[in-house]
Amino acid sequence: MTSIAFLGIGLMGRRMATRLAQAGLTVRAWNRTFAKAEALRGTGAEPVAELAQAVQGAQLVISMLEAGPVVGELIDAALPALDAGTLWIDMSSTRQDEALAFHARLVAGGCRFIDAPVSGGVGGAEAGQLAIMAGGAAADFDQVVKILEVMGRPQLVGPVGSGQVAKLCNQLIVGATLNVVAEALLLAQAAGADPGAVREAIRGGFAGSRILEVHGQRMLDRNFVPGGQVKSQLKDLRNVLAAAQGAGLTLPVTELVTRQYEAIEGGLPTADHSAALLALEQMNPGIRLGNAADQLP
């Protein structure tokens, strides 16, 4: 696995492809907007304008794209140029049924597939500290685990499609916790306590979490310039609800959190998902966390 085609040079993909190239791997970078791929030239990656040229001869294809339909389109377009036995790792966040369909298409074309969505945001991608949740055959995972370790901490969680299930579980917890942190800080503000001091006081207890650590501070700073975006969080929560419906489950907290993100998605789709605070403030006119100006995309 020395020749890699990396498809999708967005907020996350740019950092992930950069880490692979700087680790000495041969990386061909492709993006529909070629200028984004071209920006990686100084990292050691080779920008490629044509999709077929990017994937031809690649032993490993990694995609990091916006949503399942885009991944499906690229697989269909790339299949004629793929060598037999090529392993495709999709690190995008999609539905489980989409991942299973990608697997079926690639296997029919003589290739292999792993779904390996990630968590950790732009900061985790830049630092090579992403949580990587992989679904696929153990032999395929073992073949690429060292490459995945360049980008973070990979864990095989089951057969194809299981990575997307794990990511949905992750996003359910992230989305709900973001809203609960927003409620806690706004309650502290409204009740007369210092919300920053409250955050400090509870960080070491059972309420401590990465969300409280990173996004609690973002809310206090009113910094909504994106790492993870509102529209992506909302997409993932809708996928959680679709998966729950398929499994015969009712998830009332996820339904509530989804409505909170729907309340701000129309106006601030690209804001950081910590903008859950803004949806809460809309429900409580006259109550605002802190005095800082909003930093928005």
Which is the catalytic residue, given 36, 146, 167, 231?
167
Q: How far apart are CA 201 and CA 32, in angstroms?
A: 47
The verdict on whether 231 is a catalytic residue reads: no
- The total of other beta-carbon atoms located within 10 Å of residue 110's CB is 12
Q: How many CA atoms lie within 13 A of 100 on its CB side?
A: 8
Spell 73-108 as b/e; 16+ CB within 10 A means b.
ebbeebbebbeeebbbbbbbbbbbebbbbbbebbee
Q: How far apart are CA 120 and CA 229, in angstroms?
A: 12
Say if strands 118-119 and 112-115 run parallel, antiparallel, or are unpaired. Answer: unpaired
Q: Which two tokens stand for residue 54?
A: 């990017």
153 φ, ψ (degrees, to nearest 5): -115, 100
Write out the E strands in 79-225: 87-90, 112-115, 118-119, 130-135, 152-158
Q: How far apart are CA 107 and CA 112, in angstroms?
A: 6
For residue 275, give the amino acid letter: A
Q: Which of 251, 212, 254, 210 is nearest to 233 (CA)?
A: 254
Say if strands 3-7 and 26-30 run parallel, antiparallel, or are unpaired. Answer: parallel
**Active-site positions?**
167
